[in-house]
Amino acid sequence: MRKALLVLSVVLISLLGWGAPQTPSVQIGTFNLEFFTDFDRSTGTWCEEHNPRTPQVVEELARFIDSLDLEVLALQEVENAQALELLLSFMPPGKYGYILSPQTTPETCQRVAVLYQKDEVSLQFVGEILLSLGQYGLRNGLVVYGKVLPERLVLVCLSFRVWRSINPF
């Protein structure tokens, strides 16, 4: 009798969970690309001089990012939209979209961005968090909003510069 009740309980629990709607899941990651540029010296020599990559390395990087199969990936240290277009040129056509921080003041070649799979999530720009306080080289934060039905998603992408001094005072 006990065995029958145990088996019946397991079957009932299984059946009750069978038809339950599945909550969609979104995998979110972050990646500091470190001086990710468009290889065009006219858009910023300083960052181009610090970019350690070749176009072949960018292609490998694009394949690696695509292999992660993350729905949303926050990116740090992206020079501009042309740099992101270069990355996307090595990825499956039409699979990804991006939102890039529109920061123009202070000028920086290290913006933040969000890369996302267009068929999995829809994202839109909300605004910037003015973290740079007008200091050259510092980055504003990026806020995006999206939906993964039936849930909503708000993502804040930040990149803080860590500074160290021999004399802390």
More confident residue, 44 or 117: 117
Dist. CA 90–CA 87, nearest whole Å? 6
Q: What percent of the chain has pLDDT over 70?
A: 72
Dist. CA 106–CA 146, nearest whole Å? 28
Structurally, the chain folds into a number of domains equal to: 1
- Token pair of 19 as six digits: 């038809």
What would the pLDDT profile of 11-63 be if each residue is shown by its tens digit?
445 545 555 566 667 888 989 888 888 888 777 777 778 788 889 999 999 99
Residue 9 forms part of a structural domain: no
Give the domain CATH number at 69.
Answer: 3.60.10.10
Q: How confident is the model at residue 151 (pLDDT cuts 50, 70, 90)?
A: confident
Residue 95 forms part of a structural domain: yes
Residue 82 forms part of a structural domain: yes
Residue 118 belongs to domain spanning: 25-157
Residue 74 forms part of a structural domain: yes
The whole-model pTM stands at 0.74
Residue 165 forms part of a structural domain: no
